[in-house]
Structure 1
């Protein structure tokens, strides 16, 4: 059986072919999980979070999305560039991230997912980058010997990015394992992991269909969710 990979849906004001507000997941993301041998489970982000809903799941993918409310990482003001902030989405994602970090459920965190994990562990974000990484594909340097380097079998990769925020303070529980040329932290791993975990600031799903190195991140998640752990 395919490992069941939970992907929290994103609230959307509208969607093609639907008459009203929708809950969505990026098709490229879902297809990347399926292509890796996983069964994507797009999860209704109902707050309060009920951990029992994950009992049948083998892994989690925390996807990209709108901005996390700044108060969740200790900020007292809001930048005018913030967009798509949703309190119910925030509450669910933060609780889900806390749960997987505590239990060690295999997890891949992408873009907003990385930022949510950083906030849960006590880190902070730059609310808006002077030179953002939206619609950018750029090289990323990967730390030798890191989990990410082993998965990619390389110390460099081309990252497809869409983010206007970045890590200001990396949480004490995270170790940076990739950087962009401007110094932006592009990936992180748990310093003391209870289970398989990887966070990337870019969107590997954007190019996974044609780039084997990006697809390898989803294969690694699915293998870990099937019981492979850190075995690559």
Structure 2
């Protein structure tokens, strides 16, 4: 049987200051293929190239990846400042309506870092432009130097709500995670349930209340060492199961007559 197709939301980059590309980290593709058991497909996230309806029709689920550009603050009622960093408005134009459509349809997605923040904004929430500037908060940004292993090392605990979705999925109430983000949730949207926090109170795990499908999102990067990490493997495995369920339901659905 064919593997479910997971659209991996790509980011815009310029290679050698000359060549514009749409790309996704290899670790995202590996996590989808090896930990979720699905077929990875990088999406060129630009409404001039693809439409939300086309993505919904062709893919069985979506990985909302991290990325250096941030969600443009116009989407949560604020003016951009230097603290908000760089933007990718073409990605915003794809992901925000895609998330809302997936919630309505029950089509699964997994949000990571920027993707975690996109889900909150898509559902009506807001973001802090810089977590480390808030009183009592830690610096959650990627260490500027070192190997990838050092930059993605486990740096803090995430504590889940007792008996909540993530506690049941992980089988434990606390996990160790990496942390590589500057922004974070300020006001959670009305349907966003914050199900896990860092020690400084920063939201780290969410889902959409009342959604008929898989809507789990995390602020850390579980795609790093996804097959072996005890907090990453069950997350991707559950997402893969949800994508398989969606794919199988499509196959069972009656075909529309011409």
TM-score between the two structures when normalised by the length of structure 2: 0.82
Q: Is the 8 A contact 2:108 2:242 kept in 1?
A: yes
Deviation track 1:28-64 (CA, whole Å, cap 9, x = no partner) reads 1110110021101111112163313321311111111
* Mapping of residues 122-141 of structure 1, within 5 Å: 122-129=124-131, 130=133, 131-135=138-142, 137-141=155-159
Name the residue aligned to 1:14.
Answer: 15
Q: Which residue of 1 aligns with 2:200?
A: 182
State the partner residue of 1:92: 94
Q: Deviations over 1:61-87 (max 9, x none)?
A: 1111121111111113x3323333022
> Which residue among 202, 208, 232 is the counterpart of 2:226?
208
SS of 1:72 mapped into structure 2: helix
Q: 1: CA distance between counterparts of 2:9 and 2:189?
A: 23
Q: 1:193 aligns with which of 211, 234, 245?
A: 211
Superposed CA offset, 1:94-113 (max 9, x none): 12112211211011111111
Paired residues of 1:132 and 1:165 also in contact (CA < 8 A) = no
1:119 aligns with 2:118: no
Which of 71, 74, 95 is matched with 1:71 structurally?
Answer: 74
Cα distance in 2 between the residues matched to 1:29 and 1:50: 21
CA offsets, 1:123-148, max 9 Å, x none?
10001121430127211001122221
Q: How many residues align?
A: 226
Equivalent position of 2:250 in the other structure: none
Structure 1 residue runs of 5 or longer lacking an equivalent are: none
Give the CA deviation at 1:19.
6.6
In structure 2, how many angstroms separate the alpha carbons of the residues matched to 1:9 and 1:228? 22
- 1:221 alignment partner, one of 239, 244, 258: 239
Hey, what's the Cα distance between the residues in 2 that align with 1:12 and 1:226?
Answer: 31
Runs (4+) of structure 1 moved beyond 4 Å? Answer: none
Matched residue of 1:216: which SS? helix
Change (3 A) 1:83 1:14: farther
Q: Which runs of 5+ in 2 are unaligned?
A: 143-153, 248-258
* C-alpha displacement of 1:209: 4.0
Q: Distance in 1 between matches of 2:83 and 2:196?
A: 26
Larger Rg over CA atoms:
2
